[in-house]
Amino acid sequence: MAQRYNSGLGWADVTPKAGWLNRRQLMMTMGAALAASPALAATGPYSTDEAPNSLEDITGYNNFYEFGFDKTDPAAHAGKLTTSPWAVEVDGLVDRPGSYDLGDLLKGLPVEERIYRFRCVEAWSMIIPWNGVQLSHVLDRVGVQPGAKFVQFTSLARPEEMPGVKAGLLDWPYREGLRMDEAMHPLTLLATGIYGEPMPNQNGAPIRLVVPWKYGFKSAKSLVKITLTDRMPYTTWNALQPKEYGFYANVNPEVDHPRWSQASERRIGAGLFASRVDTQKFNGYGDLVADLYKGQDLARDY
């Protein structure tokens, strides 16, 4: 599948690859690298202009329990994952259900670059330059029926290639869900790449959900199924520990996780002494998404 931008300029155009591969490396070659490249400009109204984390950060620190509990397990074990061919089954309340080849499902849809804040429920965060298509475009393509109220996402569970699945660490396959208006929101992305390159396996290749105003666990990886349904779907963490992980899981500094505070977060890559920053409600996307929750008690619907 083509990993092109619709915005003309891509990361590869504005930054020498060595620069974003490794920030430390970038520091060392700072003079040369920066002199040769124009400033990185955020593209479009949805991207943040904060500096993205290095690819080393983004691919070396992952919660992807299909490959193990440790944050370094995905980088160590995801190399074995077969991502081509890849089919995504679309079922439930849709006009055109079926098993779609990934390329066919996305063909012709605009691949955009979105630099999003990513906030994990464990109170750490990164800035990630995703490439992907809006989920709404894909849903429009398959034809959502009026009765559909929710979308469920199912991740791959392939024990031969996923040690954490084989070990039964969670109730596999991993499942997540969104309300219809959340799914149709322009911020909600089906991401297929990072830094203009195909999605690294440990980040959820070849296609994953990205919902930047919600805690990271909502953004299910390596999707094999999208189901349109009329009721709130089963979601993995919510089913495991309903008091700790709600269905909505909107980033909210005012609503603590029962075991830890959500008031602030540590920005990965910010060094030993300056990494803690205040957490923003809806992860800073409130002006775009707060309306979705008007009249809803977010302390109850956490």
Partner 1 sequence: MLRDTIHRALRPVRPWMVYTLGALPALLLVVDVFTGNLGVDPVKTIEHRVGEVALQLIVAGLCITPLRRFAGLNLIRFRRQIGVLAFVYAALHLLVWITLDLQFRWSEIGADLVKRPYIIVGFAAFLMLLPLAVTSNNAAIRRMGAAAWQRLHWLTYPAAMLAGLHFIMLVKAWPAEPLIYMGAILALLGLRLIPRAAPRRVPA
Binding residue positions for Mo-molybdopterin:
62, 65-66, 120, 155, 203, 208, 219-221
> What x-and-dash track marks residues 201-240 binding partner 1 by CB under 8 A?
---------------------------------------x
Q: Nearest approach, Cβ of 237 to partner 1 (angstroms)?
A: 8
Cα–Cα distance for residue pair 230/151, rounded to 1 Å: 9
256 binds partner 1 (CB under 8 A): yes
Spell out where the chain has E strands.
Answer: 87-92, 98-101, 112-119, 124-134, 150-155, 175-179, 189-194, 197-198, 208-210, 223-229, 264-267, 276-278
72 binds partner 1 (CB under 8 A): yes
DSSP code at position 190: E
The footprint of partner 1 on residues 93-112 (CB under 8 A) is none
229 Cβ neighbours under 8 A, 6+ residues apart: 92, 93, 148, 149, 150, 151, 152
Q: Say how many residues touch partner 1, by CB under 8 A.
A: 28
> Which tokens belong to 5?
């931008």
Residue type, 161: E
275 binds partner 1 (CB under 8 A): yes
Of 26, 40, 263, 298, which lies in the binding site for partner 1, with binding defined by CB under 8 A? 263
Which residues are bridge partners to 193 per DSSP? Answer: 131, 198
Q: Nearest approach, Cβ of 58 to partner 1 (angstroms)?
A: 9
168 binds partner 1 (CB under 8 A): no
> What x-and-dash track marks residues 16-35 binding partner 1 by CB under 8 A?
--------x-----------
What residues form the annotated binding site?
A: 62, 65-66, 120, 155, 203, 208, 219-221
**Could you give the residue ranges of the DSSP H alpha helices within 83-234?**
102-106, 135-142, 163-166, 180-184
Cα R_g (the chain), whole angstroms: 19
Using the contact rule CB under 8 A, the part of the chain among 7-15, 55-63, 189-197, 225-233 near partner 1 is 55-63
Residue type, 49: D
170 binds partner 1 (CB under 8 A): yes
163 binds partner 1 (CB under 8 A): no
Residue 112 near residue 134 (C-beta atoms within 8 A): yes
Residue 228 near residue 145 (C-beta atoms within 8 A): yes
57 binds partner 1 (CB under 8 A): yes
Residues that bind partner 1 (CB under 8 A): 24, 56-57, 60-61, 65, 69, 71-72, 122, 124, 169-170, 240, 256, 259-261, 263-264, 266, 268-269, 272-276
